[in-house]
Structure 1
Amino acid sequence: MAGVTRWTGREAGLLRKAMRKTGKAFAELVGVNPRQIPRWEGRGETLELSLANQAALDTVLAQADPAVQQRFATLLTERAAVEQDERAEELLRRDTRTSRHPVDGKLMTVVDEGIYLSGPDSRSVWLEPYRIDVYPTTNADYERFVSATGHRSPRHWSAGRCPDDLVTHPVVWVTWHDATAYARWAGKTLPTAQQWEKAARGPRGRLYPWGNDPTAAKCNVSETGIDATTPVSRYQSGVSPYGAFDLCGNVWEWCSTEEQPGSGRYELKGSAFTSPFERTTPSLQNAANATMQDNDTGFRCVSPP
């Protein structure tokens, strides 16, 4: 995984937890007095460690087992998401475009009617107004659907239940048919490829939701080194002009648009944590068979305004 840019007491504490070490055992690995560890963790982000200690922690992380590195990346991501959730919710509450859907309770944002610049050639396309989910459908959202309808659960759930550590992550291992069934239950539909693209690019044809700068740090793609889904509210700096999250990276999203009429293949948008950043542009075209399911494919829904 990628290294830590700046080690503070917070990151050191998360690494210790990921390694499942006592303070004494962790201190021996880092080469510091055991009394330092509770001090580091107690001061958290307010304590930037010395350069020597930062170098020692770099070495400990680099030499750790892949399972430890993955746990550390997950802990970092979950902590960031928790810290940002409250701020994100407050900002969304202030946004008059957002409201909660009466069936599945998801936040939705309004995309106004009008022309937007579509596709790699930025041609002008008119769309009627609609609402789109602010976040992709999460495992928690999908679990309510499964409980209400008896629909089959995704293959990565244990005993038909959503894993506790993935509640706020986008649901994956869902086919186009699964996504359509959820949308029908919620009184929504899957977005057309054009609806999805306008929500991501805005009316003026941005290359990315945040603008035209190719910044991989604004989304969960392969360059981040996380190699897994992340909570849907994680990347606030990558939000679209309409306030929608995760329209680049994290998971590919099913659309209702067929690649060719009658082909049984439907468009996918947005790229995923498995994708190189060069494939994140919302204008990019991708498609798959309706029965395809994978660990990097999910969806979000739209409804009338």
Structure 2
Amino acid sequence: MLSAAIVTYDVPEDGPVRPLRQLRTAVAEAARWRVAAQYTRIVRALPDLLTELARAYHAAPAQDRAELAGLLVRAYRSADAVAYKFGAQDLSARLVELMRWAVPETGDPVLAASVAYVRTETFFAARAHTAGLRELERALDATPAPVAASSIAARGALHMRAAVIAGRAHDTDAAAHHLDEARTLADQVPEGVYCGTAFGPDSVNIHEVSVAVSLGDEHVGRALEIASEWKPPKDLPGERRSGFYIELARAQLWTGLAHEAFESLKVARHIAPQHTREHPWVREDAAKLRRLKRADSESLTNFAEWCAAI
């Protein structure tokens, strides 16, 4: 079980340990599952992998400990994706703390920035948006100079995250500032997954939609404007693409476009069914749509039952 792997992080059970190259491959595969929103695969593989990595880390010679600590951080992040998406907030917070425990051993400031990015989940869950924004801004101060692609993406990802949480805090100026900074950095690198986080011009477009929805009111129209001119390309990770359509559906629903909102939710489901099914906004919006669109009650009811909205 995942909880057992977490609680025994410093006293793992005895057992076999694969060579380092195989552990690297297993951790990279779990990260690919995460960005593709393939959570069932993570649930099946990660408890044993986390235990094995902890065993390897505590038994490793000094020259291997930094790399193994980095593998632990990345694997904890993949496990956290499942905990957070499925609403296990206490478990998610514990995994974030384990990431923070392991990352200093790596000596990798880019990986530390990715942990700060993930830690923001705990502030979202607690609705402590202003505190979360402060913490991200502190993390930005600690990131390396944006010279290499990895450091540019690390800094840009933090700005994207800061823009969204500033939107949740209804700090329009901060949201605009961080979004502008993210876009400036995104123009310097190709879209891709850097240290486990998708970043680039397309990811910034998606976050601009998220910021508009977070700010609400007169800002929601910006989300519709972006969607009328641009759609996320198919080579973006499934979790990120489905998130765009979930956010867009909320903006459409708020502006009276019920039919379009339902279509967006169906697109999100097609792209990443596990991510869509477990998203709380999907449940809320499906339930509301079912009340509004009685002419489509059968298809909406089927969708609402699928995502446990009813």
* Length-normalised TM-score, structure 2: 0.30
Larger relative contact order, structure 1 or 2 (CA cutoff 8 Å, min sep 6): 1
* Length-normalised TM-score, structure 1: 0.30
Larger Rg: 1
**Richer in strand (by share):** 1
**Richer in helix (by share):** 2
